[in-house]
Amino acid sequence: MSSPASDLVRPLARGAGRALQAVARHPASADLAETLYQRFLERRPRATRPPVVVVTGASAGVGRAVVRAFAEDRAKIGLIARGIDGLEGAKAEVEAAGGEALVLPCDVADAAAVERAAQAVEDRFGPIDVWVNVAFAGVLSRFVDMSLDDFKRVTEVTYLGQVHGTMAALKRMLPRNKGSIVLVGSALAYRGIPLQSAYCGAKHAIQGFHDSIRCELIHARSRVHVSMVDLPGVNTPQFDWIRTNLPKKPRPASPPFQPEIAARAIHWAAHHRRKRVIVGFPSVQAIFGDYVASSLLDHYLARTAFSGQQGEEKVAADRKDNLYQPVPGDHGAHGRFDATARTSSWQLWLNLNRGAVALAAAGVVGLGALGLSRRRRR
């Protein structure tokens, strides 16, 4: 049986929740989110020296957007990727923003090469403050149609690449008892989808790896922090160079987010001690939907995700992919879906400001309860 107090508070809480969501969904919320984010950048205590940051996958896509975000701090950035054209483009952008950059052509699947890159950064700029693992690879294919060599390659880049980067960072951060490592995960680390078995398996592995090393750092009472940012579909060049054996061009299953949204979450995670940051309401739906209706989602995705991940145009016979070699050229951060990509996320705004949101909601509920209580007394 519910109490009079719960009968009073419950509708108020529901109303407050609807009101906050309405505010967050309002077009002006994007401007508000940008304003709050800029204030965070302005008010964050300035380091006595520019931060030293390493970004893997820095040449294009989310990694390129992350480089731009840290360049706004005038950071000294080690740029790790395979594509030299994109790395040089990223370097020019960092320097134009007032930072410094070191180009480090490197395959993150090679642990020794990642270690050498980490040492080169510290030799040039000093101790690494932030390490961001973005680099990944993928194959769009049914598992039974995929080469096991290709599956292994995706695992080595997407999973072991983050392991190698984390090891190189921890080797340097632990003795100093400070530093921040960001693992870039995905909603697909919790809810696998067809045609991406290698990528989904690698992202699931990253999620387990994160839990494990986080426990070890807590046990050691280390001040080094490791966070994970779970991304939705993002409008990056990946859809033009991911390997595929399907007949039509790869595309995101739903309207993607612009890479700047992902970069904002990653930059924020690097400066806060939050374990996990989920980006975008579609990620929330996928992660928590799998908790409550995993089997139903299997059947739903079996019906929709095959055609949903392919566009209308056929794959060109001479199409190049980047699984084993980078595709030449500077491809920037954005893919070909600018017309449909989402430029803001009300869910991320609520997530990054959840303390203030919770306080505001409590205030609304409290004031409403007080008002109703006084009215009933009359």
CB atoms within 10 A of CB 57: 29
Helices (H), the chain: 4-25, 28-43, 61-71, 84-96, 111-125, 148-155, 161-176, 197-219, 238-241, 259-270, 281-308, 346-352, 354-377
Catalytic residue among 199, 291, 300, 324: 199
CA distances from 129 to 47, 119, 126, 298, 349 (A): 11, 13, 9, 41, 26
**Could you give the CA distance from residue 120 to residue 104 in angstroms, rounded to a whole number?**
8
- Residue 94: both structure tokens together: 């960092």
Torsion angle in degrees (nearest 10) through CA of 220, 225, 231, 234: -140
**Could you give the CA distance from residue 73 to residue 362 in angstroms, rounded to a whole number?**
35
- Give the single-character DSSP code of 51: P
Instruction: Let me know if 190 is a catalytic residue.
Output: no
Pairing of strands 248-250, 310-314: antiparallel
**Nearest Cα to Cα of residue 109 among 61, 75, 160:** 160
What contacts 12, CB < 8 A, 6 or more positions away? 364, 365, 368, 369, 372
Q: Active-site positions? A: 199
